[in-house]
Structure 1
Amino acid sequence: MCGIIARAGRGDAVPLVLSGLENLEYRGYDSAGVAVRNGDGIDVYKRSGEVSELSAQIRDGVASGNVGIGHTRWSTHGPPTDANAHPHTDGDGEVAVVHNGIIENHEALRERLADLGCEFTSDTDTEVVPHLFEHYLERSEDAEAAFRRTVRDLEGSYAIAAIVDGEEAVYGARQGSPLVLGVAGSEYFLASDVPAFLEHTDTVVYLEDDDVAVLRPDSVGVTDLDGGDVARDTEHVDWDPEETGKGKYSHYMLKEINVQPTSLANTIEGRIDAEDGEVSLEEFPPGAFEGVSEVQLVACGTSYHAALYGQQLLQSAGINASAYRASEYGTADVPVTERTLVIGVTQSGETADTLGAIRRATDRGARTLAVTNVVGSTAARECDDALFIRAGPEIGVAATKTFTSQAVTLALLARRLAVDVPHGDPRDDFEAVAKSLERLPDALDRMLSASDAREVGRHYLGSDAFFFIGRGRCYPVALEGALKFKEITYEHAEGFASGELKHGPLSLVTPNTPVFAVFGGDQDEKTLKNASEAQTRGADVVAVASQGHPAVDAADAHLTVPDVHPVWAGLLANVQLQLVSYHTANQLDRAIDKPRNLAKSVTVE
């Protein structure tokens, strides 16, 4: 959702806050702003638009100070205007606040504060926070105590950072939205995500709900809402700061597509023994899943498609498994017992809908497991267990490398479960599956260097719509291919189980509707028949298949997938579709890394 950065230390905070905002812009880019305590008050600079526009506005003549806060916004309450940009202040400009999340009782607080004479200048829920803070400051000589009283009055999901005139400190708190503390000697950072300050430190403390942090230029303290000291572990993030830059690539997305051989190698390193055909997950020794009778996967967006991929692998291993959209999990009367394993698949570990589903499962007695990319994330902390996909930081809003790593991690987990659970049916050919997985990064690297995706994308520019079809494990790949395409090209795209094409969607097929058919060894002859049904209606068919596949001769165009074990073929096909989406969007001059209306981590329901 939105991005928060705060800094307390010696020397000017403004350049550090601005660079932090640039690093966080994937979380929101409708508007941006900074506030700095300059020793003679608080200076606030904010505007709608991108961080670069804000930086240009304040490059000359901006006041400096040791403590500052910043925000890059993805709009929830109120449109992206200068007035709605953060930071927000009280009427006298003595308090400045940045906020991520939703204050659910903001209307009641606004009415209460208006009755006390407060005047509001924005449409946001956030503006109640500085007015409330100032209200309590007038009744207390202790700014920290006033901040605590403010936080207690808030309902909903929030991460907050605030500064106060006369106090050389940053006050932070969280409830349901991420907030992480970075420690760099006697310099301290507070942010909604680690990449905000990774170039300065990899030493972090993940704050938890109801934590209150106070950062000063020479100290930091973390307490609970009542002021009692709390102990939070200090961790080191195993991410290279260079991973958060674009390097030689024109877009983060293109970089993250092309580094998938490396991220995938990291995902599988030390986890498979191809000679013995065994999976070793140090988090889960033999017997760790003996009490499991069924598996439910909950996820959103791209992670949901990875969960569907995992569902099929679990089912083929004899395990009763179902994948649910996390936002719908609470509305369905899904049977859950203490023998149910609920797996939350979430790249960030902070997706609000997925966290909500996990919490509902926990309340009903299920065992929970987070499959996530972020050590220390809320999902990793709240679930009974965590399994990390080890894909490294992903900055592009459209997920790419994390889908591949999620799917492979779930495949390895399926093997471990099949060995443990009484009704599991481990694959007899898993030695071949494991050997093919070991070779997969190299196969992916070769495919990336020889892809024709740019030419295919150029050929179909101007089409009315784009359809993606597949069966079995290729069905979630078709869904993901369509999602990626619509996310960054803004063109109409839909994914279907190939057998469903003739049950309605075929009425939409025209000669100006290319159909991308994904072939990966799951009833490919039927998918080819379905594709030919579209072809006879005038549509071009693009076969995403290995070089010698029968679909190649029948199709109008071809995206080559290396010949690998059918378990992994869909993952390589997905990367080809990522490239088609990227090159089409680039030729349409879209904002690829920051697609309209979207944000990387959706931390509100």
Structure 2
Amino acid sequence: MCGITGYYGNKNMGKYLYNSLKRLDYRGYDSAGIATLNNGKINIKKDTGEVEQINQKHNLEKTDGKIGVGHTRWSTHGSTTKQNAHPHLSCDERFAIAHNGIIENWKDLKSQLNGHRYTSETDSEVIAHYIEEKSKEMSVEEAVKKFFKEAKGSLAVVLLDSKEEKMYAFKRGSPLALGIGNDETFLGSDLYAFSTETDKAIFFEDDEYGIIDQTGYVIKNINGEEVEKEPENFDWDQEEAGKEGYEHYMRKEIGEIPQAVERLENSLNSAQEKQVDRFVELIKNHEKILFTASGTSYHASLMGVYFLNKADIEAQTLIASEFKNYERVDEDTLVIAISQSGETKDVLDAMEYSRKEGADIASIINVPYSSVERESDVSLRIMAGQEVCVAATKTFINQIYTLLKIANKLGYQNHLEEIPKRIEKVIEKNEPKIKQLAKELKNKNDIYIIGRGDTYPIAREIALKLKEIPYIHAEGMMGGELKHGTLALIEEDVPVISLIPEKNSEIISNVKEIEARNAKSIKISPWTGPFKFPNSNSKFPFYTIIIGFLLSYWIANEKNLPIDRPRNLSKSITVS
């Protein structure tokens, strides 16, 4: 959702906050800002737009100070305006806050505060005014504890106190980490905020808060009792690479997929080998296997169900936001959570529900040291590396590769060799055709994608990418469901993409149904249609999704859309 950064030390404050926010802008890019303390006064610079644009306009890099807070926003409460951008100030300008999450009872809290001047529509601003009001009659620390106990919802907050020259950091439901340097302290929504500066971090648990000043930091629980937390060493120093000659990060990242798969395979066979074995044993030792995930990761979980069923392991999956409404778990259940960021709120909620019911939890994540990983009995990292583009491409491929690796260990015979090289060939041989097809489809309002078996999840994922990137209404569906309603929407020249791994009479019958209605029939197949594939039906989903990624990219490129930062979307969804 939103991204928070904070710093106490002697670095070039503006430059540090600017670079940290750039590393966090995948969490939100509607607006951004910083608050710095210099000579006893808080200076705020904020605006709408992406971090780089705001820096050009307000010179974030040239801001002085020894304490600073930064925020990059994905709008929830309040529209995208400069006034709604964070950080927010208290009336007396003593306090500045940056907040990630949603304060559900902000109106009730606001009703307690009389005479305060609000400058935004956000739920977050009430935090600054609440602390200002309560600190008139108690210490700031007591005010923080009181807010903690009264606030409802999810929150990760960094509070800058100009009078005491301190920062307070507190969290419930939303992620927050503290980095430890030499005579300096860092704060961030995730490690990526400060991973270029230190390799030591502490992760706040729910209902914990930290006090940061010139002497260092102290962590306490909601009752004010000091909590001893050992710093963890981490290895996540990934510099943001440039576009390397590509116009957009999305196209660059599609090209990085073969290298990402190779990196994952090496890790699964070496550094993560014991975790893989533990993962497999957990599956064997449980009667019920339930996946849960959201978005692209949910489509990967559908592939996981297919693979496990092929290995004679009964499995199901459910979208995380509805997990507790439709699933029942117990001590005989293994819940497998899949999340790119490892901070998806709906997934964490499903995990919390499952844990309370006695289930064991495994996970597949990309960002290490994330909440999902830390809350799991065993976790596998997919090693996709950083994705700057909001759309998950490397992530999806590596998720399904990991799931196929697990299924192979359980008896599903599907060899994984040569996938990276073959993906390179798929891109090389088909991109010219895809570019031409993109020109033909750029003005279409609706596209349908049909598949069966292991191509059904791929159809769903292609449809999602067509929605996310070129803003086309798309539906990915089981071919057999065409005649149960959707055929009524198939008119002349409506594009229908059919995923045909082999000469399967059922999917071919579906194709004939849509062609009989004069639809624009587009076949993705190794034996028919315009595209060329390696002769490997069992790997067909890997190659087909590459076509879908590239098609979504090139249609959006034809429409001159903001491919890497599509409207209204964020890569990490930390609120329900």
> 354, 362, 367: which one pairs with 2:355?
362
1:349 corresponds in structure 2 to 342
> 445, 467, 470: which one pairs with 2:451?
470
What per-residue deviation string (whole Å, max 9, x for no partner) do you get for residues 144-186 of structure 1? Answer: 4443333333221111111111233322111111112233433
Could you say what secondary structure the match of 1:147 adopts?
Answer: helix
Spell out the pairing of 1:50-61 with structure 2 (5 A cutoff). Answer: 50-59=50-59
C-alpha change, 1:591 and 1:119, in structure 2 (3 Å) is same
Tell whether 2:204 aligns with 1:207.
Answer: yes
What per-residue deviation string (whole Å, max 9, x for no partner) do you get for residues 327-365 of structure 1? Answer: 111222x23231111111111111111111111111111
Q: What stretches of structure 1 move > 6 A for 4+ residues in a row?
A: none
C-alpha change, 1:532 and 1:235, in structure 2 (3 Å) is farther
Q: Distance in 2 between matches of 1:294 and 1:388?
A: 23
Spell out the pairing of 1:180-195 with structure 2 (5 A cutoff). Answer: 180-195=177-192
Retained in 1: the 8 A contact 2:15–2:61? Answer: no
2:540 corresponds in structure 1 to 569
Spell out the pairing of 1:356-395 with structure 2 (5 A cutoff). Answer: 356-395=349-388
Which residue type is aligned with residue 535 of structure 2?
Answer: D
Retained in 2: the 8 A contact 1:205–1:235? Answer: no
1:308 corresponds in structure 2 to 302
Q: Distance in 1 between matches of 2:171 and 2:336?
A: 25
What per-residue deviation string (whole Å, max 9, x for no partner) do you get for residues 437-491 of structure 1? Answer: 1211111122222323222212322123211111001000000000001101111
1:231 corresponds in structure 2 to 229
C-alpha change, 1:239 and 1:372, in structure 2 (3 Å) is same
Q: TM-score, normalised by structure 2?
A: 0.94
C-alpha change, 1:122 and 1:527, in structure 2 (3 Å) is same
Could you say what secondary structure the match of 2:308 adopts?
Answer: helix
Q: Distance in 1 between matches of 2:159 and 2:277?
A: 39
1:131 corresponds in structure 2 to 129
Retained in 1: the 8 A contact 2:91–2:116? Answer: yes
Retained in 2: the 8 A contact 1:10–1:217? Answer: no
Deviates most, 225-234 or 584-593: 225-234
Tell whether 2:576 aligns with 1:597.
Answer: no
Retained in 1: the 8 A contact 2:335–2:351? Answer: yes
> 249, 265, 269: which one pairs with 2:246?
249
Q: Distance in 2 between matches of 1:60 and 1:258?
A: 33
> 263, 266, 269: which one pairs with 1:266?
263
> 467, 470, 475: which one pairs with 1:494?
475
Structure 2 segments unaligned to the other structure (5+ residues): none
Tell whether 2:144 aligns with 1:122.
Answer: no
Q: Distance in 2 between matches of 1:361 and 1:13?
A: 43
C-alpha change, 1:308 and 1:442, in structure 2 (3 Å) is same
What per-residue deviation string (whole Å, max 9, x for no partner) do you get for residues 254-274 of structure 1? Answer: 22211111111122225369x
Retained in 2: the 8 A contact 1:12–1:64? Answer: yes
Q: TM-score, normalised by structure 1?
A: 0.89
Q: CA deviation at 1:65?
A: 0.3
What per-residue deviation string (whole Å, max 9, x for no partner) do you get for residues 232-285 of structure 1? Answer: 441212453145x43333222222211111111122225369xxxxx8745518
Q: Distance in 1 between matches of 2:345 and 2:57?
A: 34
2:74 corresponds in structure 1 to 74
Identity %: 35
Tell whether 2:157 aligns with 1:160.
Answer: yes
1:555 corresponds in structure 2 to none
> 433, 443, 446: which one pairs with 2:425?
446
C-alpha change, 1:260 and 1:289, in structure 2 (3 Å) is same
Q: CA deviation at 1:67?
A: 1.1
Q: Distance in 2 between matches of 1:90 and 1:28?
A: 24
Q: Could you say what the CA RMSD is over the residues aligned between the two structures, in angstroms?
A: 2.2
Could you say what secondary structure the match of 1:451 adopts?
Answer: helix
Count of paired positions: 571
Retained in 1: the 8 A contact 2:276–2:406? Answer: no
Spell out the pairing of 1:12-27 with structure 2 (5 A cutoff). Answer: 12-27=12-27
What per-residue deviation string (whole Å, max 9, x for no partner) do you get for residues 16-67 of structure 1? Answer: 1122222222211222111111113111122223323321332289651011
Structure 1 segments unaligned to the other structure (5+ residues): 274-278, 419-425, 553-557
Q: Distance in 1 between matches of 2:42 and 2:408?
A: 57
